[in-house]
Amino acid sequence: MAAAPAAAGPWPRGEGQGFVSLSSLIATGRDSLAAPLGDMRFQGSLFAEYGLDADWTVGIDASHGRGFGEDETTGLLFLRRLVGRFAGGHLLGAEFGLGWRQHSLDGGGMRLRAGLSWGRGFESAWGGGWMSLDATGEWRQPGEMVWKADLTLGLRPRDDLMLIGQLQNGHYPGAGAIVKLAPSVVWQWSDAAHLQLGLSLALFGDDEVGVKIAQWFAF
C-alpha cells in the first residue's frame, strides 16, 4: 500500500495529495461515569498534511481542550520525510516540528518535536492492512520533555470499512507514564470522506475513558 489512510506512520502523502482530519473527544474519569454532572474533558483537534513530492510531506497538528480545571491550546507545523524503503515493504520516516503551547496553569511556550516512524503494509485473510510505530520526543519551554510512542494496527475488511487499534504510550512532566488503548471503526461514506468513531481507554497511569468522533477528508 502506498500510504496509510490515517494520520500516522512513515507513509508520504504523495505529491499534490492532501488529507484533513477534524476530531472531537469527550472524556471523563471512570469514577465519574455514574454521575450525570461529573467532570468532563472536551478536546477538538485539527490535523492536516500535504504532499510536496514523493518523499516530503508538510502538515499542521493543532488542538484545543478544556476540562478538569485546565485549558490547553496547541499548534505545530511539521515536516516529514520518507528516509528509507527496505525489503519486505518496511518504511522509515523522520519528522521535525515547531510550534506553540498555551496552558491555563503553566503559561505559554515554544514546542520543538522530533520523531521517527516505522511502518509496513500487509495482506491477511481479513483483508489488507498496515502496522506502524510512531515515536516522538518534544521539548517544551521552559525545558520540559514529553515522550510518546504509538503502536497502530489497521485492517480493511471491505473497501469502505477500516478497523483500527492503537496503543498510545506517553510520559509527561509531573505525571509519569500513561498508557491508553484507542480502538476505532472508520467508514468511507464518499470517494473523499471517512467517518471515524472510536474510544479512548486508559490502561495505566490514568483513569480516563472517552469517546471520539472524527471526519477525514482527502483531496
The answer to whether residue 12 is domain-embedded is no
Rounded Cα–Cα distance for residues 168 and 45 (Å): 17
| CATH value at residue 81 | 2.40.160.40
The answer to whether residue 5 is domain-embedded is no
Total of domains in the chain: 1
The answer to whether residue 189 is domain-embedded is yes
What distance lies between CA 15 and its chain's CA centroid?
A: 22
The answer to whether residue 6 is domain-embedded is no
Q: What is the pLDDT of residue 25?
A: 97
Q: What is the pLDDT of residue 3?
A: 44
Average confidence (pLDDT) per 10 residues, the chain, 219 residues: 60 94 93 69 96 96 92 96 94 98 88 97 92 96 92 95 97 89 97 96 93 96
Greatest distance between any 2 Cα atoms in the chain? 54
Rounded Cα–Cα distance for residues 54 and 150 (Å): 24
The answer to whether residue 174 is domain-embedded is yes
The answer to whether residue 163 is domain-embedded is yes
Q: What is the pLDDT of residue 74?
A: 96
Cell numbers given for 217: 477528508
DSSP E strand stretches across the chain: 18-29, 41-51, 56-67, 70-86, 90-103, 107-124, 127-140, 144-158, 161-172, 176-190, 193-204, 208-218
Domain that holds residue 194: 18-30+38-218
The answer to whether residue 8 is domain-embedded is no
Q: What is the pLDDT of residue 139?
A: 96
Q: What is the pLDDT of residue 106?
A: 81
CB-CB contact of 95 with 115 (8 Å): yes
Q: What is the pLDDT of residue 53?
A: 96
The answer to whether residue 9 is domain-embedded is no
Residue range 89-120, pLDDT digits in tens: 999 999 999 999 998 888 889 999 999 999 99
